Amino acid sequence: MAVSFNIEEGQALPPNLLADLERLAQEALLRHNLPIEAEVSLMLCTDETIHALNRQWRSVDSPTDVLSFPLLDDLQLRTEGELLLGDVVISMERAASQAANFGHSLKRELLYLFVHGILHLLGYDHLNDAERQEMREMEELLLTVVEVERHGL
């Protein structure tokens, strides 16, 4: 799994985070029987940037923590060869604020937001209780790969 990183100027990553992001992405692919050659783009940005994207693509005039832009409609048909899953965009400002509010590290929040974004690329959603439960369970499972738990959040 290739994770291509696009980090806006002034945004920094905690040490060893890149390797954990790669491991999470690889595990998500394995658990969904997708080729390891798949690629996802991760953009780390400011609230201002994510606000503009949210307004442009979702018609929501406010910043958010994470956005996902899937490139494929039907992942079941693509089990071989090059696979571009899509883009995940995370606001570093939101991530830092949420980490402080939840009382955990920025690294933990970024890993959670990335997993959440990847699952959206893989077709998960949380529009009703059943979908939300299924997505939360997969988030928990994937986060254990990098020894992070998200119980109670």
| Residue reference for tokens 């609230």 | 47
Q: Which domains does the chain have, with CATH numbers?
A: 2-146 (3.40.390.30)
pLDDT digits (tens, 9 = 90+) for 84-106: 889 999 999 999 999 999 998 88
Which residues on neighbouring strands pair with residue 66, listed in sequence order? 90
Length of the chain: 153
Run means of pLDDT, 10 residues per run, the chain, 153 residues? 76 79 90 82 94 96 96 62 85 95 91 96 94 95 83 43
pLDDT recorded at residue 152: 42
39 φ/ψ angles, rounded to the nearest 5 degrees: -135, 140
Q: In what order do the strands lie in the sheet with 66-70?
A: 2-7, 39-45, 84-91, 66-70
> Helices (H) and strands (E) in the chain — how many of each?
5, 4
pLDDT digits (tens, 9 = 90+) for 64-79: 999 999 987 765 545 5
